[in-house]
Amino acid sequence: MLKKVLVANRGEIAVRIIRTLREMDIGSVAVFSDADRAALHVRMADEAVHIGAAPAAESYLDVERILDAARQTGADALHPGYGFLSENEQLVVACAAAGVTFVGPPVEAIRSMGSKTEARARMIEAGVPVVPGGRAGDIEEARKEADRIGYPVMIKAAMGGGGKGMRLVHRADDLEHAYERAKSEAGASFGDATVYLERAIIRPRHVEIQLLGDQQGHVVHLFERDCSIQRRHQKVVEEAPCPVADATLIQKMGQVAIRAAEAVGYYSAGTVEFLLDESGAFYFLEMNTRLQVEHPITEWITGIDLVREMVRIAAGEALGYGQEGIRRNGASIECRIYAEDPNRFLPSPGTVTRLRTPGGPFVRDDGGVYSGFEVSPHYDPLISKVSTWGPDRATAIRRMSRALSEYVVTGIRTNIAFHQRLLAHPEFLAGRYHTGFIEEHADRLTAECSTERDEGQGAGATADLATALAVAVSQTERRSAQGSAGENQSGPSAWLRSHRLRQLS
């Protein structure tokens, strides 16, 4: 088993990974930028290493600095989380060269699925259904492909995701302008301006299949997640099961997803994303070769800790169970809590003056902030993910509504009010939604959302910070009490040894 894992990320996902590492009795190393010196993941890790300035390009996206941190601390493995370098083949190659185990899939799978055009070709070869489409090397080729597959068409960045470099085109007269805009955005966002075309599926659902595979060649699926509630192609709410998919459809989608993973020799956690149209036909969208933001809802319905499984697989262990050993239990929903203006969906950086997270039966809050923490403008504004479980969908939704009513964040704007309105919308309650749902019902979902700030730092915030510090001290004292064979007890104290902050020269 691995002994010490460097978490090459920040915020709530770094905190979430560190928690599982502690349960597995594996040492953890955090990395942090100038903006994150006081971040929760830094406080929770056994060790923390400063890796650069606030801009991600000078810290969290710097492969050499991250690998240097691993060498300094003696970390024998690295978990990339999601975002940043999580699907970067350069990091995987660098880990191998440094003798550091990458907690994720093989570089060949990342490379194959990282290019949307190559992924499409590999999936077609494997017999996986894909949306009709083709290359668009220049505007003339784009016109020919659009005429061949028929309008409306979607222009997509070959190397991207998250809605960047994507344009919907309904008419031939609009193609050239949209094509140039998409190429420009793709180049700026991903360093590669290559785009391609797909037929636009109107009013689709975004349904994904969670996979786990080991290095011995076993691959299983952990059912589906419906991620159709999106704004600007970014997921906002996810749930499992999908309200409109029956067991037969999910079994078929799961089998196709496993076939897709096997086609690229995949192991670790991964997700195959599909577009599901109104007739029940589904098409391969992409494969995310990493842990997903929305993984908690799969953990709720299966009882499987996906981070733990990733660590076991990276250490060479077999899954130890087959498809028949995985059971679905109940329903789960997740709401992403962003530091943003809920009316305009614009980031709202600032200092969290008070924080009270929800609790109670079957409520989980994956957060990365505390009272007094400054939400930086340099990074994604996601501050927390609230997820709930229930024996059925209606119970999970009611429980989420109750949890959101308990959630208190002041000092910054959040989208909590938006989520409350969404959960009360009759069409959402009926399960009748698609990827354009937020835009279609924007007036009702954003009207009267509170955007007030509480600029004062009250006693509640001070108490919350004291609690966070007490937890950190308790964890450190526990580590110190355990001791380590062969340590020089006359040297620095256990506190300094286990929580030293290193500066990269």
- The sign of the CA dihedral 178, 181, 183, 189 is negative
Phi and psi angles of residue 71, each rounded to the nearest 5 degrees, phi first:
-65, -45
**Distance from C-alpha of 398 to C-alpha of 449, rounded to nearest angstrom:** 20
Q: DSSP secondary structure string, 377-406?
A: TTS--EEEEEEEEESSHHHHHHHHHHHHHH
The active-site residue, picked from 290, 354, 393, 399, is: 290
Biggest CA–CA distance in the chain, Å, is: 77
Question: Do residues 36 and 14 touch, judged by C-beta distance below 8 A?
Answer: no
Question: Do residues 154 and 197 touch, judged by C-beta distance below 8 A?
Answer: yes
Identify the H or E element spanning 270. Answer: strand 268-276
DSSP state of 56: G
Question: Do residues 260 and 284 touch, judged by C-beta distance below 8 A?
Answer: yes
Distance of CA 264 to the CA centre of its chain: 22
Residue 254, SS3 per DSSP: helix
**Distance from C-alpha of 443 to C-alpha of 424, rounded to nearest angstrom:** 14
Q: How far is CA 274 from CA 168, 283, 296, in A?
A: 18, 5, 19
Tokens 């599926």 identify what position?
201
**Distance from C-alpha of 85 to C-alpha of 3, rounded to nearest angstrom:** 22
Phi and psi angles of residue 286, each rounded to the nearest 5 degrees, phi first:
-170, 170
End-to-end distance of the chain based on CA atoms, in angstroms?
31
Identify the H or E element spanning 196. Answer: strand 195-199
Question: Do residues 455 and 353 touch, judged by C-beta distance below 8 A?
Answer: yes
Residue 88, SS3 per DSSP: coil
**Distance from C-alpha of 71 to C-alpha of 88, rounded to nearest angstrom:** 19
Residue 427, SS3 per DSSP: helix
Q: Is 399 a catalytic residue?
A: no
Tokens 């609690």 identify what position?
467
State the amino acid at position 260 in one-letter form.
A
Q: DSSP secondary structure string, 314-357?
A: HTT------GGG----SEEEEEEEESEETTTTEE--EE--EEE-
The catalytic site residues sit at 290
